[in-house]
């Protein structure tokens, strides 16, 4: 990542914060974007304390104007845009739709979930790709193991993550000849604020349900994300990389 400029959305916590720190550790300059500026600023400060270069910005990724301003800031302040990790997203708790079946789901919950988890990725790539087509670049989007199956009572979340997977593959095909690689990661249960919310709803009872018999760490996802953005993965595009401790490998 030496001399590369990177944009990370949802960088104020969880996988986004971990990825921002790894990008910086590998020599990248990072713009940390998050809906909560205080969290983004905390991540940026951690990077600067370690000797790296980082900026923070408040961004609502569901708003096209916010996204374009974020990308313009990255280019203006960091000089270019080499990589983007479109990671911001929400779970069912954010829309009070946990364990809600399709016919019982509120329109507002459906719209908000797709706006933050899927439409935001479209907004981001529309703003990011034009800055990459002439010099090349790499994009990684955050999907989920829910993009490879389904979860009862989480239709909007599942649909949004399936959408991210399809959008990623479409972008990879359309911009391969322009030197832009686009991939996605599909994390399983990872120790993040979203998992903490799920544990709280279940009274602390949530089994890892994978052969490794533990939850994943945000840093483990981050390492894969940074590899996908690096030249070491130069022949990898259009992939949905599952990182779930072997959960989906079970018959």
Q: What is the DSSP string of 127-163?
A: HHGGGTTTT-EEEEEE--GGGGS--TTBHHHHHHHHH
Tokens of 210: 């994978």
Given CA atoms 213, 217, 223, 226 in this order, what sign does their dihedral have?
positive
Q: How far apart are the first and last CA of the chain?
A: 38
Phi–psi pair at 107, nearest 5 degrees: -55, -40
Residue tagged active-site, from 23, 85, 157, 175? 157
Asked if 175 is an active-site residue, the reply is no
Contact 8, 30 (CB under 8 A): yes
Helix axes 14-25, 218-229, angle to 10 degrees: 50
The set of catalytic residues is 157
């Amino acid at each position: 990542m030496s001399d590369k400029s990177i944009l990370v959305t949802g960088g104020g916590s969880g996988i986004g914060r971990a990825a921002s720190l790894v990008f910086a550790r590998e020599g990248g300059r990072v713009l940390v974007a998050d809906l909560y500026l205080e969290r983004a600023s905390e991540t940026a400060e951690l990077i600067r304390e370690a000797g790296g270069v980082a900026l923070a910005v408040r961004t609502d990724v569901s708003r096209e104007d916010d996204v374009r301003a974020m990308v313009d800031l990255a280019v203006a302040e960091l000089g270019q845009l080499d990589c983007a990790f479109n990671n911001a997203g929400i779970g069912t708790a954010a829309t009070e739709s946990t364990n809600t079946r399709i016919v019982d789901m509120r329109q507002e919950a459906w719209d908000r979930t797709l706006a933050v988890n899927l439409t935001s990725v479209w907004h981001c790539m529309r703003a990011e790709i034009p800055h990459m087509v002439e010099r090349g670049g790499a994009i990684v989007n955050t999907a989920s193991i829910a993009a490879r199956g389904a979860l009862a009572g989480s239709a909007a979340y599942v649909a949004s993550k399936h959408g991210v997977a399809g959008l990623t593959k479409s972008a990879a095909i359309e911009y391969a000849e322009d030197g832009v690689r686009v991939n996605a990661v599909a994390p399983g249960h990872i120790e993040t604020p979203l998992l903490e919310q799920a544990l709280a709803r279940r009274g602390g009872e949530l089994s890892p349900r994978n052969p490794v018999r533990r939850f994943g760490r945000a840093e483990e996802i981050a390492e894969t994300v940074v590899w996908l953005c690096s030249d070491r993965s130069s022949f990898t595009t259009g992939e949905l990389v599952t990182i779930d401790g072997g959960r989906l490998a079970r018959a």
